[in-house]
Chains A and B, each alone.
Chain A
Amino acid sequence: MGAHSRGNTLDFLKVANDLLPDGASYDACVGCGICASGCPASGLFGMDPRRFINMAMLGMNEELSTTPWVWACTQCKRCAYLCPMGIDVSQLVGAARGAWATEDKPKGIVRSCAAQKLDESTSAMGLMSEDFVEIVEETLEELHENQPRFADLKVPIDKKGAKFVINQNSREPAVEPEEMAPLWKILDYVGADWTYSSKGWAAENFCMFTGDTEAWKDMVETRVDAMNALESEIWINTECGHSFFTIWQGIEKFGLTANFEAESLVTYYAQWIREGKLPVNSDWNKNNVKFTVQDPCQLVRKSIGDQAAEDLRFVVKTLVGEENFVDMQPCRSANYCCGGGGGFLQAGMASERRAYGKRKFDQVIATEADYVLTPCHNCHSQIEDVGDHFGGAYTVTHLWTLICLSLGILGPDERKYLGPDLADINLPEEE
């Protein structure tokens, strides 16, 4: 992608000043460079966060309106976390993205947003509402047939008044429907009163990544309307990072009325374990297989904070055994973005994305863990990809896989994200 755009040239200093909270000032930047030092996107396309701020202060609007770096910054807000002055470059990057002409923006992100607009399903993979319902029904039928223990398992759709409404990343119904079953089993196990929504069910929002604020708002509105109509008390966001941020932040930013509380599935995994509803343990891990976790920026640093990181660790340590858990450094709110966020995975900049992800790769390798657990699809794909690219021997997997593994209810078809070492561990007994 060349450094040019036919979009608008923004006055970045003005944008910066409009975005600032009361009492803050971009003039306060002392140029210390801790943002650039701590940013995995530093150096890509000759840019880094400090340089971006300096150039904004110097009025270099043309350069900032055209640098492709704005698509390599994942808007992870680590710079804002580190800056003693609280300067948040990610917001300027969002504004810069929005000013690009649509035809010049990375095609993968634009296409995904366009797909979301096709139907009230809001699926970035273009899966229509009726297709989603059909796939869920077919997958459920197969589960009933193949796993008699779950012959009575129900997957409610549009059940009005259910306590929880849960969203679903498009990847599973579109590409690997059997991966939906582990979460259904967990919900069944704990006796949750839950439902999918046939409208606005999809857990992804590439419209936010395009910088098109109106499109972001449309997506959130469609979803919020659908969830309001179901009158559920709580919306649980599935194992996905940005879909959580995009909804709660969208509701706040656009002043929408949401008659539900926004919660993360990780919070509920932890709660159900604490309440004894999900009696998982690490007895299956007799070979002391080692695990680490990736804290999704969108869930931890940008949303719930360290409380979510604590819950994530509690769940994982219970599942794999405290002695088999190794934390990445840094972690929790200080964690590095993996490079899969912000639409980078879909932006068609593989070499830059992998250069960014090298730091995550090193972090994983330093733990010497066999598995990386992460409740985020973009983290999952990126960490898997840099592992393949740089030659890491680790496997990336979902929390629902391990929870079902521990409970002895993970079917043979649901082990795609386990390595050969765990492929035959704790298989459900033949009935």
Chain B
Amino acid sequence: MKRGTRKIETQLAVIGTGIAGFAASIFARQRGLDVAQFGHSGAMAYTTGYLDLLGVHDRRVRQDPWAALDELRQDEPQHPMSGLSNASIRAAFDGFTDALGDMGIGYTKAGDRNLSGLLPNGLAKPTFSVPDTMLPGITALERGAKTLVVDFEGLQGFSAKAFEVNFRDRWPELSSARLTFPGMENRQVFPEVLARSLETRATQEALAELIRPLLKGVEYVGLPAILGMHMPDEIRARMEEAIGARLFEIPTIPPAVPGIRLRETFERSFPEMGVQLEPQLKVAEVDFRPSGATLHLHGPMEDLEVEASAVLLATGRFLSGGLKSDQDSLSETLLDLPISQPQDRDAWFRQEYLDPRGHPINRLGVEVDGRFQPVAADGAPIHERLFAAGAILAHQDWVRQRCGAGLAIATAHAATESAAAALG
């Protein structure tokens, strides 16, 4: 028995299965390119489902992300989003959320203002586009509407009571209740398990039955994000009808349903879109040649060899495995791309963990030119057919800047544009 090698060809190989990687594949398909995408379980399952654009700049929470982007261009010209116009960023967002809608997950359209996204602990954060299942919660908060938030016995990391108490001053008409989820008595439950169960009509009806007696004039009902895994909008509509009140989801702590939902949506839809997706295989090696590259991957039973005309690297940072560090330095794990970094590890961090300026290490990453091509110290592209996008890029601190999805989507859009141009 020989270990087999399967060979495939593609115009663009996208490496990475986070938001940036999936967005890159979507944009590349929209530009008519053949796409193959590779990766492994990454940080996707840790998202709230909210798509941020730019929520914080100059240490202030921003209501107007577009004005904040204008300031960012002045203050941080090296930021990966600074080289992109507001129009192109808006087009990127629209392209991404429209594609999600086509795949069955409704998202709000890019607007002019940030939204105040609810968080599980009874706080709100600035975000830009939210799943349709979460929008009514934002409206309820804005209106101070009479709202009931429900949690479940055995569910960790989401407390309706804490949500109520923390919002009490801003939202006096908010109340909370705890239920035992149908069929999940006396056990620890994960949101994912509840969401799977709510895919069946029997559970939808049983839960509606439990919620109805609690309403007492309530206009909105908030649940942790559990409204099914793959048809949340339909399940929400069905449940709303069954309980007779507006229903919304609140993100939970990881591992949370909205991220798993996105990942499974891409995994389900990409083969239909014509993307050759291998969501469980990490690229082990890449050999570049003048007209492209050969990627080597190792499956459980056979190897995979990919002939690609161009490569887009979207492997993320430390958690996703795109970057690693040892005692002395930071490196890029797949291609050993140069990372411009301080001589000394002492300069990676500031003294205080919560220093509002953030830590220098978070802004280290892969240096790219205006076409999102990784560059050497002299500024020349490492390879004519290599592009990069997302959190692996240098000169951004997406966690503090509340710009994770914006960074991923906008740079994936721009990088695929450059890749398409290079491929003629």
Contact = CB atoms under 8 A, between A and B. Distances in A.
A310 interface: yes
A307 B192 CA distance: 27
Contact of A248 (B1, B42, B264, B319): B1
Interface string B393-416: 000000000000000000000000
A362 B43 contact: no
Interface stretch (B194-202, B335-343, B367-375): B194-202
A60 interface: no
A36 B188 CA distance: 11
A84 B41 contact: yes
Given A305-B278, A334-B264, A33 B301 contact: no
Interface stretch (A144-152, A256-264, A375-383, A411-419): A256-264
A363 interface: yes
Given A81-B41, A262-B1, A30 B300 contact: no
Interface string A302-334: 111111001000000000000000010111111
B230 A329 contact: yes
Contact of A306 (B42, B192, B278): B278
Interface string B12-45: 0000000000000000000000000000111101
Interface string A349-377: 00000000011001101100000000000
B41 A42 contact: no
B95 interface: no
Nearest to A247: B1
B143 interface: no
Contact of B42 (A81, A84, A332, A366): A84
Nearest to A305: B299
Contact of B255 (A34, A303, A333): A34
Interface string A34-78: 101110001100000000000000000000000000000000000
Contacts of B299: 304-305
A32 B1 CA distance: 39
Contacts of B3: 252
Given A32-B255, A248-B1, A260-B1, A330 B43 contact: no
Contact of B301 (A84, A260, A304, A310): A304
Contacts of B192: 37-38
Contacts of B41: 34, 81-84
A259 B1 CA distance: 6
B255 A33 contact: yes
A105 interface: no
A359 B190 CA distance: 13
B329 interface: no
Contacts of B230: 329
A359 B203 CA distance: 12
Interface in A191-213: none
Interface string A83-107: 1101000000000000000000000
Interface string B342-364: 00000000000000000000000
Contacts of B281: 305
Interface string B220-243: 000000000110000000000000
Interface of B: 1-4, 6, 40-43, 45-46, 183, 187-188, 190-193, 196-197, 199-200, 202-203, 229-230, 254-255, 260, 264, 267-268, 271, 277-281, 299-302, 319-321
21 contacts: A32-B46, A33-B254, A38-B192, A42-B188, A42-B190, A43-B187, A82-B41, A84-B40, A84-B43, A86-B40, A258-B1, A303-B300, A305-B278, A305-B301, A306-B280, A330-B268, A331-B268, A334-B267, A358-B183, A363-B196, A365-B200
**A-B CB proximity, top 5 nearest:** A34-B255, A366-B199, A258-B1, A37-B190, A329-B230
Interface of A: 30, 32-34, 36-38, 42-43, 81-84, 86, 248, 251-252, 258-262, 301-307, 310, 327, 329-334, 358-359, 362-363, 365-366
